[in-house]
Amino acid sequence: MTDTETASRASLAGLTPGQLRSMFANDGWDGDTCGLALGYEQANLVVLPKNDAYDFLLFCMRNPKPCPILEVLDVGDSVSKRIAPGADIRFALPRYRVFEDGRLVSTPARVDDRWRDDLVAFLIGCSLSFESALLASGVPLRHLEQDRICPMYETTMECEPAGRFAGRTVVSMRAIPAPLVPTAIEVTARYRHAHGAPVHVGAAEQMGISKLEEPDFGESISMEPGDVPVFWACGVTPQIVAQQARPQFMISHFPACMFISDREAHVGAI
């Protein structure tokens, strides 16, 4: 994160989801969406040709922890009806990634020029929603205290495959003070639309993670004495699984540049 971005980020603090999407549409911001529109649900984006949509939808349904579906747009439709009615996902995000045959070909600020009538957009839950709930419940988040991106790891935990879509679960890790681990689990379990309860507590090596200090994505964080590493299924999973399936065409959000919805994060909680 550059200084310029940080400065601008402060000025975005009070904006509503609609104002932010409109600013992104007008190229007013190409940074990440972390900390923006706090309390509103943010979403991962995966766009695939109709031809791949059934298998991908089934993959998400079979693996609800890494892939909690918030909305699936109708074939060819680019406008959200449910979580941000009227928002056009072709230019409502700060930045995108475009893939051809599984290879990244560009990272544009809008994708309306690449849109096709056979595309299906999937909006998938994101852990930003449960992070506000954790903070509100008194659970500290080390990566925020240390101004870092949450560390993420590829694991050996195989997802349940569907058609061509198969792969291993990616997890995010938060270092939680031991007495607060039950609270962290109880709170996030209510956020099934944002990955829900953790998938593992403590034993990183059982998931094939050898070095906590070397995450595969995000940044390493310093654990405090008495912290326990707690692992949640991560929305990077469907991104990587989709990419590995080498679809003929695919659009996704640029890392950390999410779709900001109009839905308050606690609304989906149970």
Chain residues that interact with a second copy, rule: CB under 8 A:
50, 53-54, 57-58, 61-62, 69, 72, 74-75, 162-163, 189, 192, 270
**Residue 259 CB, nearest approach to a second copy (Å):** 18
> What sections of 98-217 are H helices per DSSP?
128-136, 142-145, 181-189
Which residues are within 8 A (CB) of 267 and not within 5 positions of it... i.e. 6 or more apart? 41
Nearer to a second copy, 148 or 192 (CB): 192
Amino acid at 219: E
Length of the chain: 270
Min dist. Cβ of residue 209 to a second copy (A):
27
Residues 6+ apart with CB under 8 A from 265: 39, 40, 41, 128, 129, 130, 132, 133, 191, 194
Nearer to a second copy, 64 or 255 (CB): 64
Task: Kindly tell me which of 48 and 234 has the beta carbon lying closer to a second copy.
Answer: 48
| C-alpha to C-alpha distance for 125 and 256, rounded to whole angstroms | 13
Q: Which is nearer to a second copy, 62 or 116 (CB)?
A: 62
Nearer to a second copy, 114 or 192 (CB): 192
Residue 264, CB half-sphere, CA atoms under 13 Å: how many? 3
In the complex, the smallest distance separating the C-beta of residue 82 from a second copy, rounded to whole angstroms, is: 8
Q: Which tokens hold the place of 39?
A: 């309390």
Could you give phi then psi for residue 69, rounded to 5 degrees?
-80, 125
Give the nearest distance from C-beta 132 to a second copy in angstroms. 21
- Minimum CB–partner distance for residue 136 and a second copy (Å): 21
> In the complex with a second copy, which residue's Cβ is closer, 229 or 235?
235
CB of 86 to a second copy, least distance (A): 17
Q: Among residues 269, 254, 3, which one has the least CA distance to residue 107?
A: 254
Give me the least distance between CB of 58 and a second copy, in Å please: 6
CA dihedral (139, 123, 69, 100) positive or negative: negative
Nearest to a second copy of 39, 86 (CB atom): 86
For residue 81, what is the DSSP state?
A: S
